[in-house]
Chains A and B, each alone.
Chain A
Amino acid sequence: MKSSLEHQLKALLPRGRVLISAAQLAGYGADGLGYKNHLPDAVVIPADAQELAGFMKGAKALEVPVVMRGAGTSLSGGPVAVQGGVIVHTSALKKIREINTEGFWCEVECGVTLNDLDATLKPHGVFYPPDPSSGPVCTLGGNVASNAGGAHCFRYGVTSNYVLGVEAVMLDGSVHCFGGPAGGRGPWREDWKRFMIGSEGTLAAFTRFWLRLLPLPEKVWTFRATYPDLKTTEAAIHALVAHSSYPAAIEMLDPRGVAMVESSQMACGLPEGSFMLLVEIDGPEALVNARVPSVVELLRRAGSNDVMFSDEEALRQKLWKARKAAGGLLGQLSPAYVVQDAVIPKRALAEVLQLVYDEADAANIRAVNVFHAGDGNLHPNFLFDSRVPGELEKVELISKRLMQRVIEVGGTLSGEHGIGDDKSAYMPLVFGPDSMRLQLSVPAAFNPAHQMNPLKVFENRHFIT
């Protein structure tokens, strides 16, 4: 079967690469989640957008699942071939085609990495705001597919706020532009790009995007404050979200996260048992400088006697150190971890965090919380060893109870990571019969056999040949 597939794939991609040996496929079995491994039958690397479109035209006849993949940094199991089939790796589609500063837009191919785009835009005095922490390697295709966010979403928003247009290739090989530099519908009656953004590779292959840009802020101030308890931390968060400085970022690290950082080589002197808030404001120099005293006063009034702040790049990076180190340390501390991505109304923060602690402690699973507090976007990280029988099951049970409570308090399953196959089992918690029917009608319109990324987003999406 493999040699037949290889033969067909090589016919579809005359200039691209076809990977088929076990050694070549080994790196494509998992994404950022790590602990789930599903090897694809093959990986193809189209040489350019035209070849990708050509591949899609012939993909239907292959009668195997097709899974799009950028850098594979997803944290939801999205770009993984759970049902086998072919992974389409978009790494060769990495052209930044146009930057139009007068029109505040750029046109990029799907394989461009986020930080490459940022670096290219910077000399033009503009930037693209979404900033997931995987920026050095993650691709814009993956960002659009998962509606990625980042630390500065509180003011700037997520990917869907910045996508003006999507070029999509359907399984019949047809190529459609949904929107474009102007960000409207184009000649369509409906705004189809809205379904494409965040669709996690279940509807079409994306080749290029038109993205909205903003002028770079002139000045940035970073603040770090620690608090003795959750109550005072919450008070600070609630005051910050209503503050006239409109912070760009409001990030939080809980005492377990603080302990993790302080017991590592990345220690930066955070008080034991403290909650850490990281806040950033930006804007024109005259305006943002005038706002600094009121932000400091707010952080102190909420209960911190440990407020540090700076506008100097080196010092700002020091203030960010604990927040940025946390992600990497998780991987060092544990063979595997699951990071959840629920968003909750902020008034439920203390209750839901307590639930995380109680459930994790009862199951003897380590839990560390480092997250986007301004958005109410929680990232509880559950550390476990998938080789120890029963540990993964414990984490899944905790996750299930957490998600049930998140929905009960009015929250949602995912703010920026996507559903993938990691959270698909929880979708019936969110959608009732009518809304579930609407949800499933979207892949039914574009990908009725579920050949594109089966078993993702909704767990009953099986590809049946």
Chain B
Amino acid sequence: MNVLPPMRNERLFVPFLDEVDGTLCLPANATAADIHAQARAHRLRFPLLLDEAKTLREQIVATTHAPASCRFGPYCDNVLGMNWRLPSGRITRIGERVVKTTTGFDWLRFLLHSGSRHGEPVDYVLRLRPDCGFTAIARFDGDAEALRSCVSKLLHSGWMHWWDAVDFLTEAGTSFIRVMVHCVPEEASIFAQQLEHVAASASAQLTLQNDVPQALDGLPDLVVKTTPDRVIDLAAELAPGASRCVALCYSGVVHVYMNESDDLTERTQALVQPHASELYSLGGDWHSRRLPATPPTITESAWLNTLDQAIHAAAGSDGVGE
């Protein structure tokens, strides 16, 4: 058992699309158009897109979740592997191309949203999902009680698994619920009936747009993570200081969009600071692509130093592709 071949090279990923597994490896600077160009031919999609023009890396740096995380989980459940450039410039493989692994310590999930301290992604391996060919967007309007009732009915039933997104949006003093549906065209009427049922039972007004593109909100300036039962209140509390808030209701995430200004950094800081203590007590967090990363605590500085020694260490020859 102890006699095994010598240690392999870094087994770097080379770009691929596996239409059987529904996996796609492409550069971290790829955009939505690059993904569509490869995935659509095989009736596959990557549902966690936020922005048509920004790179995948920018989207993943900006936030841990997208609206479709309601159904498919956060980015870290949908990025299976990476080629990762270490601070030394060397590239190593992190993660896998298969959907399940418990082989070793989970550097993939640790690094994915850790910023640039430990290096940067070169390529991502994405988990794609079947493109069923039909997308609808439902909008529920009503008073605050009606909107809360809608969210409760949408999430607290077996239907919750099948909404691509259930979002509470507040903008310019107006709030509404947005539900995204993705299904085969033959099922569209079944989804429509359920949405009508929710609207009627919650005394809300439903507007349904059929066969439309997925809604893309763009990159948030601030991302706040709390529990699902707190997320609507939190979005409402953050909204006066923002141009728009999108609460991802099942994920417990608020995407905050700010007006551009010279004091954007200070405004962002001021907006979230009053909530920091409650967020931390719930095991939540916040981060902003506009702000520097949270400094490490004293305890974790020691752990980080140990990891850094491994990350910064020089090694033998460069890894080569599989």
| Contacts from A to B (Cβ < 8 Å) | 100-105, 125, 146-147, 149, 153, 157-158, 160-161, 164-165, 174, 176-177, 179-192, 194-195, 197-199, 210, 214-219, 238, 241-244, 246, 282-287, 290-291, 343-347, 372, 375-377, 396, 400, 404, 407, 410-419, 425-446, 448, 457, 459
Annotate B1-41 by CB proximity to A: 1 below 8 A, 0 otherwise. Answer: 11011111111000000101111000000000000000000
Q: Which residue of B lies closest to A185 (CB)?
A: B285
| A residues in contact with B109, CB < 8 Å | 160, 191, 194
| B residues in contact with A184, CB < 8 Å | 225-226, 279, 283-285
Q: Give the distance in Å from the alpha carbon of A117 to the alpha carbon of B229 in the complex.
A: 21
B220 at the binding interface (Cβ < 8 Å): no
Q: Which residue of A lies closest to B294 (CB)?
A: A189
B106 touches A435 (CB 8 A): no
Q: Which residue of A lies closest to B226 (CB)?
A: A182
Annotate B36-56 by CB proximity to A: 1 below 8 A, 0 otherwise. Answer: 000000011000000000000
Q: Which of B43, B162, B229 contacts A284 (CB 8 A)?
A: B162
- How far in angstroms is the closest Cβ of chain B from A375? 5
| A residues in contact with B44, CB < 8 Å | 242
| A residues in contact with B316, CB < 8 Å | 433
Q: Which residue of A lies closest to B293 (CB)?
A: A189
Total residue contacts A-B, CB cutoff 8 A: 292
Q: Which residue of B lies closest to A413 (CB)?
A: B103
A343 touches B100 (CB 8 A): yes
Q: Which residue of A lies closest to B156 (CB)?
A: A215
B155 at the binding interface (Cβ < 8 Å): yes
B102 touches A189 (CB 8 A): no
Chain B, range 274-322, C-beta contacts under 8 Å to A: 279-285, 293-297, 299-300, 302-304, 306-307, 309-311, 313, 315-316, 319, 322
- How far in angstroms is the closest Cβ of chain B from A252? 15
28 A–B contacts, CB within 8 A, in A order = A103-B252, A160-B109, A182-B282, A186-B284, A187-B297, A189-B296, A192-B303, A195-B110, A243-B130, A345-B23, A345-B98, A346-B21, A376-B98, A400-B1, A400-B4, A407-B8, A410-B97, A414-B101, A417-B102, A418-B102, A425-B1, A428-B7, A431-B7, A432-B93, A434-B86, A435-B92, A445-B303, A457-B104
- How far in angstroms is the closest Cβ of chain B from A143? 11
- How far in angstroms is the closest Cβ of chain A from B183? 7
B209 at the binding interface (Cβ < 8 Å): no
Q: Which residue of A lies closest to B108 (CB)?
A: A194
Q: Which residue of A lies closest to B309 (CB)?
A: A441
B187 at the binding interface (Cβ < 8 Å): yes
Q: Give the distance in Å from the alpha carbon of A282 to the alpha carbon of B99 in the complex.
A: 21
Q: Give the distance in Å from the alpha carbon of A414 to the alpha carbon of B96 in the complex.
A: 11
| A residues in contact with B21, CB < 8 Å | 241, 345-347, 376
Q: Which of B99, B132, B252, B297 contacts A188 (CB 8 A)?
A: B297
B283 touches A182 (CB 8 A): yes
Q: Which of B6, B101, B226 contacts A343 (CB 8 A)?
A: B101
Q: Which of B22, B23, B161, B306 contacts A242 (CB 8 A)?
A: B22
Known: A189-B304, A345-B20. 15 other contacts (CB 8 A): A103-B227, A160-B106, A180-B281, A180-B282, A182-B279, A185-B283, A243-B130, A283-B158, A416-B100, A432-B8, A433-B10, A433-B316, A438-B94, A438-B307, A448-B306
- How far in angstroms is the closest Cβ of chain A from B43? 7
B194 at the binding interface (Cβ < 8 Å): yes
| A residues in contact with B98, CB < 8 Å | 343-345, 375-376, 410-412, 415
A432 touches B4 (CB 8 A): no
